[in-house]
Amino acid sequence: MGKDVIIACDFDSAEKTLSFLDLFRDRKPFVKIGMELFYAEGPDMVRRIKERGHRIFLDLKLHDIPNTVKKAMASLSRLDVDMCNVHASGTSAMMKAALEGLTRPDGSRPILIAVTQLTSTDQTALEDELLIKEPMKDVVMSYARNAKSAGLDGVVCSPLEAAAVHCACGEDFLTVTPGVRFADGDKGDQKRVMTPAQANEAGSDYIVVGRPITAAADPVAAYERCIKEFVS
Ligand code: C5P
């Protein structure tokens, strides 16, 4: 599995998404479809983007009882997505059930990764609301190890955590990292960011890039710049 740039298609309609993707004539980028677009347009959006030749990371972050997640994952697998995810906090039993549900009769399946702790959760919320007293970094690494033991392929994490995740879970364990900005770009609401080149050096396997590409004056040029900095 090679390194790649995944464009976060955080649009609220099929029209906006497809006219954005129409810009890409030479290369079909790997795209991320999140809750906003999936809940607005449904599974048909996935089929339409697949038909155009894109690989898809369906970022729905499943978290429910193992049997429900297993059946939901079977539906996503039939949709032929390339990557999907669950919350590691759903437990190892849930992650194993997700893998079972995803596996097709021929043994193939989409890549399955886990969200460890959301970056919107801070140490105070971890301790006061979730009653987890350990330091965030230890929690993230422990959840990553659980995902690895359950048989998952990797985790979503900050590029700043990619090296530690690889150290704990092996070089083959994928790190899919948002929070990427160009050196001369606007950070927006992302606080701890890395450039595509730095994310590459940190060991990220996939970078997830939204606004630096979707809001650029020339999205194709911005995408090509990401590829150049990250992959080559
Ligand atoms: O526009 P931007 O590059 O910030 O988009 C990053 C994408 O990655 C968004 O879809 C965002 O929801 C997602 N994401 C993130 N941080 C996480 C998990 C997901 O920015 N910890």
Any ligand 1 atom below 6 A from CB of 156: yes
Q: Return the SS3 of 156.
A: strand
Question: What per-residue confidence (pLDDT) applies to 208?
Answer: 98
Any ligand 1 atom below 6 A from CB of 92: no
What are the CA-CA distances from residue 202 to residues 2, 4, 31, 165 (Å)?
15, 14, 22, 11
Question: What per-residue confidence (pLDDT) applies to 194?
Answer: 94
Which of 5, 9, 10 has the most ligand 1 atoms within 8 A of CB, as the residue to mutate? 10
- C-alpha span between 188 and 89 (Å, rounded): 28
What are the CA-CA distances from residue 203 to residues 2, 71, 167, 172, 185 (Å)?
12, 33, 10, 11, 22
- C-alpha span between 116 and 139 (Å, rounded): 8
- C-alpha span between 114 and 147 (Å, rounded): 7
Q: Tokens 């990797």, residue?
A: 154
| Amino acid (1-letter code) at residue 7 | I
Residue-by-residue pLDDT tens, the chain, 232 positions: 579 999 999 999 999 999 999 999 989 999 999 999 999 999 999 999 999 999 999 999 999 999 999 999 999 999 999 999 999 999 999 999 999 999 999 999 999 999 999 988 999 999 999 999 999 999 999 999 999 999 999 999 989 999 999 999 999 999 999 999 999 998 888 888 899 999 999 999 999 999 999 999 999 999 999 999 999 7
Which of 3, 16, 50, 61 is labelled catalytic?
Answer: 61
For the CA of 157, the nearest atom of ligand 1: 21
- pLDDT tens by residue, 36-49: 999 999 999 999 99
Any ligand 1 atom below 6 A from CB of 161: no
Structural domains in the chain, CATH included, are: 4-231 (3.20.20.70)
Question: What per-residue confidence (pLDDT) applies to 1?
Answer: 59
Any ligand 1 atom below 6 A from CB of 34: yes
- 106 alpha carbon to ligand 1 midpoint, in Å? 33
> Dihedral of the CA atoms 149, 46, 56, 104 (nearest 10)?
40
- pLDDT tens by residue, 115-140: 999 988 999 999 999 999 999 999 99
- 178 alpha carbon to ligand 1 midpoint, in Å? 5
Q: Is 137 a catalytic residue?
A: no
For the CA of 8, the nearest atom of ligand 1: 10
pTM of structure: 0.96
